[in-house]
Amino acid sequence: MQSTSIENKRHSLAHVLAGAITRLYPDAMMTIGPAVENGFYYDIDFPKNAPKEEDFQKIQEEMKKVVKVWSQSTASFVQEKVTKEEAENIFKNNPYKLELIQGIVDKGEDITLYVSGKETEYEFTDLCRGGHVENTGEIQDDSFMLDKIAGAYWRGDEKKPNLILL
């Protein structure tokens, strides 16, 4: 059984955010989405039409839909251990995930994915080590709020693409 610690709730919300973003911005490329001391974020490459602060309400409403759909699953976060080849096939159009997969392989670690909303229109798969709530039903609609947009270079390297942090 997965823990319901605040860190796991925050990490779960990062996945919820990613699930909402991929629905609203289908061309967005997800990178990483950790829990942090005061919340969560997700680094995202928006090739076009990046959201602005005035889009927060729309994104939060989509996040609420994601929470609801995923909560109706038997498990909101289903772990799958995959091979390098399987992971590369799933993320073949995302160079950020491909770089992360190679780093996992180089460390000799297992490659794990988490699938949420399986077999629904809100299905979302992420490369992830875990640490989630058992079910997104544990997340209240008023327990999250997007409050800022920031920018950061991929892996902190100014020669790499600038990403949006939500």
Contacting residues for 22 by C-beta, under 8 A, at least 6 apart: 28, 30, 124
Q: Give pTM, 2 decimals.
A: 0.92
Residue 124 in tokens: 């979302």
Look over the chain and give the mean of its residue pLDDT values, rounded to a whole number: 92
Q: With respect to CATH, is domain 6-165 assigned 3.10.20.30?
A: no
107-151: pLDDT as tens digits:
999 999 999 998 889 999 999 999 999 888 888 877 788 998 999
CA distance 63 to 17: 6
Q: Which of 65, 61, 105 is nearest to 82 (CA)?
A: 105
40-65: pLDDT as tens digits:
999 999 998 899 999 999 999 999 99
The 10 Å Cβ neighbour count of residue 4 is 15
The 10 Å Cβ neighbour count of residue 30 is 25
pLDDT at 4: 56
